[in-house]
Amino acid sequence: MKYIDENSITTAVLQRLESCKNPRLKEILGTLVIHLHDFAREVKLTESEWMAGIEFLTATGQMCDDKRQEFILLSDTLGLSMLTVAMNNAKPEGVTESTVFGPFHVAGAPHVALGADISAGAAGEPLFVTAKVLTPDGKPVAGADVDVWQADEEGLYDVQRPDLAHHQARAVLRTDAQGNLNFKTVLPVAYPVPTDGPVGKMLVATGRHPWRPAHIHFMVVAPGFERLITHVFRDGDPYMDSDVVFGVRSSLIRQFEQHAPGLAPDGSQQSVPFHTLNFDFVLQPV
């Protein structure tokens, strides 16, 4: 019987993968085994430490449901999500950069008309967003579906409110023939990622804060173009340089202009101070 020790085990596992008929799967699993084994040898991983790791991953999976994805949060906070985004979404100059998807997107957000108030009762100061979806040479992209989601002024997404029966600060809009997009929402604020699960415990144990700078999520989909997943960040946020998920890119930072009560971009009269944001999304053709 073949003798297995701490060094020969890696070769033995790789030999078992030789019959794998999917070359990419074989490459990914084989390389994972090599690095995982090297990691264990380098840190001299004990059995109790590895059991604690298994328990952590088990708890991470148990925290996932249709409204919360703790594994995405784990990937985000370890920088793995942003690493894969950076590797797979290199853009020519002038094309809007991608960033992390985040754990709070949900399918089936309501489709609303341009100009709609997507806040749907979410708390926060009024924000009017105007944007265009364009090609790299500045031509409008008509009929692009733009999925928007964000937190309210308490730093919570709608899916984090168990008693809420409808979507808030979340919608899908479609650009008009000139590539225009406009809607009303609430001003985003900085917020902490959920800390009541295993990822939160990891952040505490490693002395890290859980905060994300204020931002709005956008996913733009249009035929003939690469899908864009991005944020627009609110300039001046104190967590801009220490985003817990490493998602900030300087090209995505914009001023959210504050205005005194008066005439808003949609023609309405606002009795309270309001804010405006203008941003052009430039898509990469496929």
Q: Which two tokens stand for residue 225?
A: 């173009």
Residue 73 forms part of a structural domain: no
Domain that holds residue 224: 91-282
3-state secondary structure of 174: strand
286 residues of the chain, pLDDT tens digit each: 467 899 899 999 999 999 999 999 999 999 999 999 999 999 999 999 999 999 999 999 999 988 889 999 999 999 999 999 999 999 999 999 999 998 899 888 999 999 999 999 999 999 999 999 999 999 999 999 999 999 999 999 999 998 998 999 999 999 999 999 999 999 999 999 999 999 999 999 999 999 999 999 999 999 999 999 999 999 999 999 999 999 999 999 999 999 999 999 999 999 999 999 999 999 999 9
Residue 209 forms part of a structural domain: yes
Structural domains of the chain, count: 1
Distance CA 213, CA 122 (A): 19
Residue 81 forms part of a structural domain: no
Residue 37 forms part of a structural domain: no
Record the pTM. 0.90
Residue 219 forms part of a structural domain: yes
Domain CATH number, residue 97: 2.60.130.10
Residue 150 forms part of a structural domain: yes
- Cβ atoms of 226 and 112 within 8 Å: the answer is no
Residue 122 forms part of a structural domain: yes
Residue 274 forms part of a structural domain: yes
